[in-house]
């Protein structure tokens, strides 16, 4: 009985000491930080330019497929069965080319995602390092992204270190 009572008391003491620990928390607003970094805006503009160029390529291929299909519809009654098959195969090949371009440029492992990674990863790493430096200097145990916290109702402005991160990154 004494043994069980001792174990229970030790468990309560251990639990109380763990729950009494306090963590120092700070917040950053990543959207605010990114919006105020010129290199992020430059990288985003490059991505948009590339995206528009690739979309023009896709649109051009789609228009070619539409023209081929429209021409086939109007000429279909004059074509032999072999010519019909050849035209249908040509239309299908063009439509397949459109799908392949979409997948190549904007697919899950497409060129857009690779380019985005190459342009934005260094910026994200720089931000992360700045946050880590500030957290170490100020003794923060946890730094959360305020813009990613939908359930956050209130936060004291003294916990927001976004401007400190921008300052560390050399942004205005």
Q: What is the DSSP letter of 58?
A: H
99 part of a folded domain: yes
Domain count within the chain: 1
Residue pLDDT, tens place only, 12-57: 555 555 545 677 888 888 999 999 999 999 999 999 999 999 999 9
Contacts of 68 by beta carbon, 8 Å cutoff, 6+ apart: 87, 90, 91, 94
Please give the Cα distance from 29 to 145 (Å, whole number). 6
153 part of a folded domain: yes
The pLDDT value recorded for residue 122 is 94
7 part of a folded domain: no
Is the dihedral angle over the CA atoms 137, 142, 148, 153 positive or is it negative?
negative
The pLDDT value recorded for residue 79 is 86
151 part of a folded domain: yes
Unique residue bearing structure tokens 């931000």: 127
Residue 27 phi/psi, 5-degree rounding, is -125, 150
The pLDDT value recorded for residue 2 is 60
Range of the domain at 138: 22-169
9 part of a folded domain: no
Which residues of the chain fall short of a pLDDT of 50? 19
The pLDDT value recorded for residue 114 is 94
């Amino acid at each position: 009985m004494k043994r069980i009572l001792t174990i229970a008391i030790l468990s309560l003491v251990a639990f109380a000491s763990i729950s009494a620990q306090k963590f120092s928390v700070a917040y950053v607003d990543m959207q605010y930080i990114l919006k105020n970094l010129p290199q992020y805006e430059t990288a985003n503009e490059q991505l948009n330019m590339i995206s528009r160029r690739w979309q023009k390529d896709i649109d051009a291929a789609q228009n070619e497929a539409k023209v081929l299909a429209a021409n086939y519809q109007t000429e279909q009654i004059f074509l032999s069965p072999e010519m019909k098959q050849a035209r249908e195969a040509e239309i299908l090949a063009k439509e397949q080319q459109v799908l392949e371009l979409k997948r190549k440029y904007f697919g899950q492992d497409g060129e857009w995602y690779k380019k985005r990674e190459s342009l934005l990863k260094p910026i994200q790493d720089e931000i992360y390092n700045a946050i880590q430096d500030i957290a170490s200097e100020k003794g923060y145990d946890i730094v959360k992204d305020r813009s990613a916290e939908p359930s956050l109702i209130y936060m004291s402005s003294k916990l927001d270190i976004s401007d400190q991160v921008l300052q560390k990154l050399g942004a205005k």
